[in-house]
Structures are given as C-alpha cells and as structure tokens.
Amino acid sequence: MRDRFSRRAFLAGLGASAVSAVAVRELIRLGLRPRSASEEEPFLEEPAIFVEHDGWLVTMPDKRLLEFPVRYLEGWHAEERTSDAAWRWSGQAASVLAPNLGVEATVHIDYDSQAGLFRDRPRTVTVSVGDEVLETFVADAPGRQRRALPLPAGIPGHGEVFELTLATDRAFVPAEHLSDSQDRRELGLQVFEVEIREAGIRR
Amino acid sequence: MAVFIASGGSFPDPSSYDCFVIGSGPAGITTAVTLAEANRKVLLFESGNDDRERRTMPNARNTGHFRDGWWDRHSIRGLGGTSQVWSGWCASLMERDFNNPAAGVRWPIARSELVPYYRRAAPILDRSPSILDPEKPWIPGFLYRPYSRLRPTRFGARYLDLLRDSPTIHVALSTSVLSLDADMGRSAVSGLTCLRHEGDARLQLAIQPGQSVVLAAGGIGNPMLLLQPRPDGGVPVGSESGLVGRFLMEHPHLRRTVELVLDEDLYKRRASEEFGRARHAFVADDEHAAAHGLLGCSVVSYSKSTDDPMVEYLSWKYGKPFFHYGTEVRGEMLPAPSNRVFLTRERNRAGLYRPSVNCLVGADDLLSIERTLRHLARSLIETGKGRVRIDSERLRRGVSGGGHLMGTTRMGATPSDSVVDRDCRVHGYRNLFVAGSSVFPSGGYANPTLTIVALALRLADTIASGR
C-alpha cells in the first residue's frame, strides 16, 4: 500500500513549517534545497475545503461516505434479489447506521409499501433519528417509490454517524394476505435502498 | 566527411564568413539557416559527426539530483545535437513565465515579442503554427493546454541536405571550439581556437569586429566554453558577470504520483490534424497563478480507465460518468545560483576542463507543485468535475527530469543579474551571442524546444539586421 497523501507529513518532510534541526536533517536526507525560514506558507492560511481519504483530496461528506456507507442494523430480514433488483424487508421497525455528513443532506428511501394490500387502511411510516421524528407519511402510493427527507447540517447529539429508524404502524404476514404464500415473516417496508446525499447534488 | 565544404583538408578562410555558430543542435542549425536565408555566410562548428556522436569527450560529472549520466544523455555531440533525443513534445511558454514574481526573475522581453517567432518556429519543427492556439478555458483558475506531440524533428537528418547544399553555410564537422579571445578592451571577440579531431590539428581563427560568434552548444556546453580558464589567468571571455553556469534549471517531472478522476472522456477531445496527437494537459491560468504565487506546473493525462473506486463513487454521487487518469506532472524549478555548471580539474581529450553539474530540486519547487495540485483539487470539487489524488511519498522522493538544461547563461537587463541582454548578446561584447535554452531566465513548465527555436530565429534576425 502506497503512502497516500498527508499534507502534514508532506510539509514536515520539506521543513516547510518551523525549520528545526530535525527538518533540516530531513531535507538533507531527501536532497532538497531548504526553504528560507522567513518564507510563509500561504496555503496554510487558506480555509481548507477538503480532507484526505486514501490520498484523494475530497470533501468531508465524500470522506464519510467513502469510509462509512449506510449499514443495515437491527430489524431487517435477509437481502433478496432478482436479476435487476435487490431489497431487504424491514420488520415493523428497523434501523440503519448512516454517516453524519456535517452539511445539509437528504435521506433518500427507495421502497415499495405493497399499498395494494392495504387499500382499506393504508399504513403509516415514521422515520426518526433517536427521539426526533423526521417525517411521518402514509404509505398509500402503489409501486416503487423514492422519498427524500431533508436532514439538518448537524444532527444534534450525534457524532460522525447516526442511527435512522424506519417504523410502520403495523407489520403484515404475507401468508395471511396472500393465498399462495407460505411466508410467515412479519414484514414492514420493502426497502431497495437507503442513501444519504449532500443537499444540492443532483442524481 | 569531416568538413562539408573542405573535404580536401584545407580549412576555409575565416574572413569570408559573417557568422560563426558553435553547435549544431536546434538552436545552432536554426540560427545558421536563418542567417543564410538573409544572405549571410555562416561557418557552423560541430564536435561530432553527421552520423555519429563524439564519445571521446566525456561531458559533465553530476552531483545532486539527476545523476548517473543524466546530463550526458542530454548533451549530444553530433549533428542535430539534442534533437537526437527530443521526444517531440511542443508547448510555448505562457505569458506569466516571462514575468512571474513567484519565480523571482523577469525576462527582458515579453511573450508578445516572441509570438511571431513561435509561429515561424513551428514549421521548422515540422508542425503548423496553429499549435500555438490550443488552449481553452476549463474550470475556474485552470486552462486546458495540451502539448502537441508529433514525430520529433531530428535536425541532423532533417536538415542534412539543406546544409550540404547551401552555398552560404559551411559545416565544420568533427571540430570543437576550445576557447575565445577578446580584443584589448573586451568589447568584441577577436579570435577563437578550435580542434579538428581528424588530424588532431589546432587552429586559431581571427574574428573581425563585424563578424559574429554564436554559442549554441547547449545548457552545459555554452557555460563550459565560457568558463574555460585563459592561459594568462584572466577572466574568461564572456564570464565577466560571474554568473556563467549558475541558475541551472530542469523541469521536475513526477510520474505515477498524481491521479485524476474527471467527468470528461479526454480521449474524445480532438485536436486538429496539424496539432498532432494531443497530450491532454491542465495548467493554472495566468490570473490564478499570479494571485496565488504559483510556479509553472502542468498535469498531463496519459492513461484512462473506469476501473477505480473513486470513479464508481463520483458516478454514483453526481449521476454522470467519470473517468480515471494516470498523469505526469511537469513543474518549474526556481532559478537558484547554487544549481550550476562549474569546471573540474579534469581535462578531456581536447584539453577542455571537464564540467560538473550540481542540481538540486528545491523544497519550494515541490511545494509549488503541491499547492497547484491542491488548487486544482479545490476547483474540481467546487465544480463537481472530479477529484485529485496525490502520492505523498513519490511527490517528495520520486522527482525525475525532462533532460531540459536551462538558465546557465541567463538573459537579463544588466550584467549584474545576467550573462546576455535582451538580444541574447553577451553583456559588453558587440559580436558574441548565445542561442539555446541556456539564456532562459526562468523555465516555466513547457519543454523548451519550441522556445529555443523561436529565440534562435529572433537572434538570427538581430544579427542579420546588424543591430
């Protein structure tokens, strides 16, 4: 694995900050002409808009998304897939661990609520972070849906990651609704994808 | 064939020439041919031969970076000089290269003065003048500024027939100039001593004040000749400034050090047929570089792929295709007096003191490259057009060069800061001139061949006009 970019290490290697005896020795070892001690490093005074990830100069949201994609936590059934789609069924309540991007962001939930089974009394879905409810919506639209929920820049009380919970007001057992089904699992939402994206990034 | 015009053995009468050109690389041949076109009679000296290099005169010893024969590989004694190892890449210097406060030195001429000569230089290098017009705006602060890459022009082979057939150019092959003499007042070159290798004959040629001498022996050869000690122990002719040999510059090259992911398939960018195969490259524009004190730096893409996690991530993030590129970064070295050509005590077969080259890339040179890359990264992030990856280890330790020898007889306004004036005339001497990249006060990032030929054309015009 190559030594990826670290600005601090790079500058230390060049003796760009205070020209210490150690830095001078490093310069001699590298065979570089030293910098003048009186010279400033103008770039250090500029606000850094990026951070480093495996040598890449990226934004903080990039870094968090690259290092920490959304992870499924409790309350999920095993992944299922066909040739062109993959999904997980939640139980009545299920949670994901997502990166706190530190900027305004949007949670995208790609789901199918099987609304046709609940025409008489559609189910209600609640999305929350900890005790804070982000949104409650009635899952009455048929077919695959994509729902976008805004997240504030900093999610209060959370660090680099936060736990997002999806809960339906009631679960269903397919075998009780479908005559040809033997499936006795308690199911909530059929979730194809949960994504966190910076606000303003188009898809 | 030892001497084109004097195969019988007699050396031509020196009084019959208007100009003596020492060295037959791109600078020397361009100067000679252009003077001939202006009906000036030229004697062109070449240590080597028309079909082989002279290897019995070892060149420079090296200290610092670029060791193990690096400079020798780029100092060719043979007809055509270093064009024999030229890669064929062409780019002109940028406007800021002529007056970049970050480089701490200013050319006494502006780029606009050189542009007509750039256009004349292109056909000499077998390309269209349109190669001067490829740059396009790209992202904020940066330009798309590709290199033209065609088959390199080997001056020895390309202009052999022209030289052989010219009634006004005579080529003294296998003949090395050993020293220059000046008149009493040190205002003009009054003679030169040369060695004809075949027969081992030393000749002293008298130079009249109306005749011109042009040193075109390369970034090491020019200072090597000007530094040769005089038998009387006096200051060598042309070395009165004390600056000959100093301020040597290379172009730091960083290979496999920087990667780009961009939202553009660069291979779909088509340059004109005349431009040749474009090497796609990006540079900071003049305004941005001036605002941030950046030295020259170009990031050249050389390989494309889509098999990269960052490509996958950005394509997901932005919903459009991205492409991964390996790059070669070409930077600029600050002119430093400690980087220099100097003479050792060792003499070569011709009796010339052998030069040594000390050249260290500076911390500031690499920091400027690193800062340019960070500015590029910032602009790519802000526009959503890509990302930059830097291998810190290679950036600090993996520097190599381009074989570009610049700055050792630098051009400037006064003898206190330079060896030659704006006309490439050695300060104080009315008939001694220098051609080639050794006159560059700063080197920018662009490989120097196009500028060498442009400056040689300008020099020939100056001499022909009698200024």
Tokens found for residue B40:
């000036």
Instruction: Flag whether residue A70 sits within 8 Å of chain B, measured between CB atoms.
Output: no
- Tens digits of per-residue pLDDT, B371-424? 999 999 999 999 999 999 999 888 888 889 999 999 999 999 999 999 999 999
More confident residue, A191 or A9: A191
- Is the pLDDT assigned to residue B84 strictly greater than 60? yes
Chain B, nearest residue to A43 by Cα? B371
- Is the pLDDT assigned to residue A38 strictly greater than 50? no
- Is the pLDDT assigned to residue B246 strictly greater than 80? yes
Per-residue model confidence (pLDDT) at position A200: 78
Per-residue model confidence (pLDDT) at position A155: 75
Chain A to chain B, count of Cβ pairs less than 8 Å apart?
Answer: 107
Percent of chain B beyond pLDDT 90? Answer: 73
Give B381→chain A minimum CA distance, Å. Answer: 7
Contact A10 B370 (CB under 8 A): yes
Interface predicted TM-score (ipTM): 0.84
Set of chain A residues whose Cβ sits within 8 Å of the Cβ of B259: 55
- Tens digits of per-residue pLDDT, B119-170? 999 999 999 888 888 889 999 999 999 998 889 999 999 999 999 889 899 9
- Tens digits of per-residue pLDDT, A164-179? 999 999 998 989 888 8
More confident residue, B117 or A154: B117
- Tens digits of per-residue pLDDT, B322-358? 999 999 999 999 999 999 999 999 888 888 998 989 9
Secondary structure of residue A175 in the 3-state scheme:
helix
- Is the pLDDT assigned to residue B110 strictly greater than 60? yes
Set of chain B residues whose Cβ sits within 8 Å of the Cβ of A56: 310, 387-389
For residues B283 and B302, give the distance between their C-alpha atoms in angstroms, rounded to a whole number. 15
**Which helix (H) or strand (E) segment is A25 a member of?**
helix A21-30
More confident residue, B76 or B97: B97
Per-residue model confidence (pLDDT) at position B114: 97
Chain B, nearest residue to A9 by Cα? B392
What angle do the packed helices B309-318 and A60-67 form, to 10 degrees?
120
Give B360→chain A minimum CA distance, Å. Answer: 6
SS3 annotation, chain B: CCECCCCCCCCCCHHHCCEEEECCCHHHHHHHHHHHHCCCCEEEECCCCCCCCCCCCCCCEEEECCCCCHHHHCCCCCCCHHHHHCCCEECCCCHHHHEEHHHCEECCCCHHHHHHHHHHHHHHCCCCHHHHCCCEECCCCEEECCEEECCCCCHHHHCHHHHHHCCCEEEECCEEEEEEEECCCCCCEEEEEEEECCCCEEEEEECCCCCEEEECCHHHHHHHHHHCCCCCCCCCCCCCCCCCCCCCECCCEEEEEEEEEECCCHHHCCCCHHHCEEECEEEECHHHHHHHCCCCEEEEEEEEECCCHHHHHHHHHHCCCCEEEEEEEEECCCCCCCCEEEEEEEECCCCCEEEEEEECCEHHHHHHHHHHHHHHHHHHHHHCCEEEEECHHHHHHCEECCCCCECCCCECCCCCCCCECCCCEECCCCCEEECCHHHCCCCCCCCCHHHHHHHHHHHHHHHHHCC
Q: What does the buried/exposed string (b/e) look like for B71-97 if buried means 16 or more CB atoms within 10 Å of the residue's CB?
A: bbebbbbbbbbbbbebebbbbbbbbbb
Per-residue model confidence (pLDDT) at position A42: 46
For residues B156 and B29, give the distance between their C-alpha atoms in angstroms, rounded to a whole number. 9
Q: How confident is the model at residue A27 (pLDDT cuts 50, 70, 90)?
A: low
Chain B, nearest residue to A59 by Cα? B381
Which of B265, B383, B388, B266 is closest to B318 using CA atoms? B383
For residues B460 and B445, give the distance between their C-alpha atoms in angstroms, rounded to a whole number. 26
Q: How confident is the model at residue A103 (pLDDT cuts 50, 70, 90)?
A: confident
More confident residue, A65 or A36: A65
The pLDDT of A55-71, averaged and rounded, is 91
Beta bridge partners of B260: B325, B388
Q: How confident is the model at residue A152 (pLDDT cuts 50, 70, 90)?
A: confident
- Is the pLDDT assigned to residue B1 strictly greater than 50? no
- Is the pLDDT assigned to residue B187 strictly greater than 50? yes
The pLDDT of A123-139, averaged and rounded, is 92
- Is the pLDDT assigned to residue A47 strictly greater than 70? no
- Is the pLDDT assigned to residue B204 strictly greater than 50? yes
pTM for this prediction? 0.88
Per-residue model confidence (pLDDT) at position B274: 60
For residues A124 and A89, give the distance between their C-alpha atoms in angstroms, rounded to a whole number. 16
Contact A65 B338 (CB under 8 A): no
Q: How confident is the model at residue B69 (pLDDT cuts 50, 70, 90)?
A: confident
Set of chain A residues whose Cβ sits within 8 Å of the Cβ of B315: none
